[in-house]
Structure 1
Amino acid sequence: MMNKINELEQYCLKKEEWMNGYIKSFYSKDKNVQEGILIKEEHTRKVTAIAYSLAVHLQMNEHDALLARIIGLFHDIGRFKQFSIYKTFNDAQSENHALLGLKILKEQRLLGELTETDQTLIEFAVKNHNAKQVEPTEDRRYLFFARLIRDADKLDIFRVLQPYLTTDDVEPCSKTFIGQFKNGGQCDYNMIRTQNDRKLVRLLWIYDVNFSWTLDKIVSQGYVAEIVKSLPQTEDMKKGFALLKKYIMHKLQYEDKPFCYRDEKTQ
């Protein structure tokens, strides 16, 4: 058991070193490209740490906590090639960065040292980390890891986007988005039309946060309050704000349940 854990930890360290070199291969003299690559480099580092911390919070065993760390490391591996080619992080204007990431994982044979069970789990989590909804699966373990990386990703994206939060946008939110906001639903990112739509989408992410641990950090770091303050204070929006506040207060009352969907064959 201990040898397997040590081997997996060594794998993590080796792939983190590989990832550092891989990311640096996309460094550019083009100021805009370099800025984008550096943003995603820091994001990758932080999500890797967040995923591991969340796994520890959920009382995962060391094997599964290390898998969470690996998923965090590789979740956005497709972003670097995406930005170097298309000069955008917008999947709709380029290609799905999660699917691109899966191609890179395969091309670079990055998962070959792992068991087939761990490989398929990592691939599922990477594939679904940015989806509107996690694809249906009867494997509770797959689902748990997908939820974990989605939370880790969202938590740091709030940080990444914070410097770009504008407060003087004139165009209102789209009616469709306002309607979904009042009902606590998710929106189709392809329907974003205004800057206020983009900000509202960030609030709607709250309804897709899976763990109280994550939500507590998002709220305590002031991300929700700042976005609410930046949006139009219409009656419809106030109804959405009230619903969101009620949802947050309710979710934060409950402690996260420890991870208990272990596959004993991997232990």
Structure 2
Amino acid sequence: MKQEVYNNIETWFNSYVAGFENEIEEIKSNINLKRNHSFRVANLIKELGEESGLDESDVILAQISALLHDVGRFEQLTKFGTFSDTEEINHIQLGISTITENNILSELTEEEANMVIESIRNHNESLLPKSIDPKLLPFCQILRDADKIDILHVVSDYYSNNKQGSNKRLEMELSDKPEISKKLYQSIIDEKHVDFKDVLTLNDLKLYQMSLIFDLKYKKSFKIVSEKTYLKQIFETLPKKDLVIDMYRQMKIYLENHL
């Protein structure tokens, strides 16, 4: 896998995103947010590459997956005005359709193209299927880790430095209510992945995002999240109820145990 192939896909990606210029300030801001997120995830792939066991060629292939993993978000945002996935409006399905319809992976072998598509298809799943091809597994794991790390970067910065409600799409149009989902609470205390269906409020969303650490694979990923203090930053924006403090304590212990 040559760097030139990645560069060609990056050129297409930049041109594609440029086609979504929008006069609405929040839409414009979120297009830039997702564009920058994609590049940061690709850079994180490099940081995690050594621990993943992937060789240099495979890391470049994983970076292609990273650059394209959220390409469906641009159509989802501008056409449907949301970042919320439904059966009808799913950014992964939109993204894979965009990639195949534009023949973006034409410079890859059939096996390489399949690795990219399947990594993208699985990057947002609650859990990876047990029957997943062992060759595909490290590609999925590294993309999932890099994506989650940068999601924590994006949302911790947003919650800490912006007025609540200033980006409703990033807040998934959720209401700011004091209640905390009991199912979400139990999942976090049990150190389990939170089902997004249990996210009912903005506070639930913040806790769900913090709980992404339960799905991290690599020691380097835990180290980055710890050093950047993403969990602490989000916690500081939450109500200091006992059950919130309990969940934060449980997540901190989990993070520290994996360093």
When structure 1 is superposed on structure 2, of 154-163 and 12-21 the one drifting more is 154-163
Letter in 2 for 1:165: Y
Matched, 1:70 2:64: yes
Give the structure 1 partner of residue 84 of structure 2.
90
From 226, 242, 247, give the equivalent of 2:249. Answer: 242
Give the structure 2 partner of residue 100 of structure 1.
94
**Matches of 1:102 and 1:188, distance apart in 2:** 24
**Matches of 1:246 and 1:39, distance apart in 2:** 31
Letter in 2 for 1:188: D
How many residue pairs get aligned? The number is 246
> Which digits, 9 at most, give the CA deviation of each residue in 1:69-114, with x for residues without a partner?
1111111111111111111111138622112111111100111221
From 212, 218, 222, give the equivalent of 1:211. Answer: 218
Deviation, structure 1 residue 133: 1.3
Q: TM-score, normalised by structure 2?
A: 0.88
Q: Which runs of 5+ in 2 are unaligned?
A: 165-175
Select the structure that is richer in helix: 1
Letter in 1 for 2:191: G
Alignment of 1:3-152 (within 5 A): 5=1, 8-92=2-86, 95-152=89-146
Q: TM-score, normalised by structure 1?
A: 0.85
Matched, 1:198 2:192: no
Which SS does the other structure have where 1:184 is aligned? coil
Mapped contact 1:83–1:89 kept (Cα < 8 A): yes
When residues 10 and 78 of structure 1 are mapped into structure 2, their CA distance, relative to the original with a 3 A threshold, is same
Letter in 1 for 2:37: H
When residues 162 and 243 of structure 1 are mapped into structure 2, their CA distance, relative to the original with a 3 A threshold, is closer
**Matches of 2:104 and 2:54, distance apart in 1:** 24
Mapped contact 1:206–1:215 kept (Cα < 8 A): yes
Deviation, structure 1 residue 43: 0.8
**Matches of 1:93 and 1:139, distance apart in 2:** 25
When structure 1 is superposed on structure 2, of 177-186 and 124-133 the one drifting more is 177-186
From 231, 236, 240, give the equivalent of 1:229. Answer: 236
Mapped contact 1:184–1:240 kept (Cα < 8 A): no
Cα-Cα RMSD: 2.0
Matched, 1:184 2:178: no
Mapped contact 1:173–1:200 kept (Cα < 8 A): no
**Matches of 1:17 and 1:138, distance apart in 2:** 31
Deviation, structure 1 residue 191: 2.7
Mapped contact 2:52–2:218 kept (Cα < 8 A): no
**Matches of 1:245 and 1:43, distance apart in 2:** 25
Mapped contact 1:182–1:237 kept (Cα < 8 A): no
Mapped contact 2:152–2:210 kept (Cα < 8 A): no
**Matches of 1:18 and 1:138, distance apart in 2:** 30
> Which digits, 9 at most, give the CA deviation of each residue in 1:30-49, with x for residues without a partner?
22221111111111111111
> Which digits, 9 at most, give the CA deviation of each residue in 1:134-185, with x for residues without a partner?
2333422211111110111111111211233269966031111111121111
Mapped contact 2:42–2:63 kept (Cα < 8 A): yes
Bigger radius of gyration, 1 or 2?
1
Mapped contact 1:137–1:143 kept (Cα < 8 A): no
Deviation, structure 1 residue 245: 2.4
When residues 47 and 232 of structure 1 are mapped into structure 2, their CA distance, relative to the original with a 3 A threshold, is same
Mapped contact 2:70–2:91 kept (Cα < 8 A): yes
